[in-house]
Amino acid sequence: MTSLITPAQRSQLAQELPDWRMVEGRDAIHRQFVFNDFSEAFAFMTRIALHAEKNNHHPEWSNVWNRVDITLSTHDVGGLSERDLELARYINIVFERF
């Protein structure tokens, strides 16, 4: 069963995921990614989509040309869960390869 992250995990977010920001008015994190062109952005999204589908945990995202905006929150628990942190870590690793 997934549950909300602990206060200790929450206090470490800025250090562990420095490029991710809390979303105002929601218990969610957000990051924007910029690529050289649409093809790179779409390739990035494809890798994330395959991982998300395999793990049954999907991001909220949008894409405009070379930019991808991603917001993570677990709807089942009404806020940030360990699943969101794991997905954010994975997304960061994928982004490093671009």
Residue pLDDT, tens place only, 84-94: 999 999 999 99
Task: Please report, for residues 2, 36, 40, 67, the alpha-carbon distance to residue 81 in angstroms, rounded to integers and kept in the order given.
Answer: 7, 32, 29, 25
Per-residue pLDDT at 1 exceeds 80 = no
Mean pLDDT of all residues in 29-54: 98
Mean pLDDT of the chain: 96
Task: Please report, for residues 11, 57, 59, 80, 93, the alpha-carbon distance to residue 96 in angstroms, rounded to integers and kept in the order given.
Answer: 25, 21, 18, 23, 5
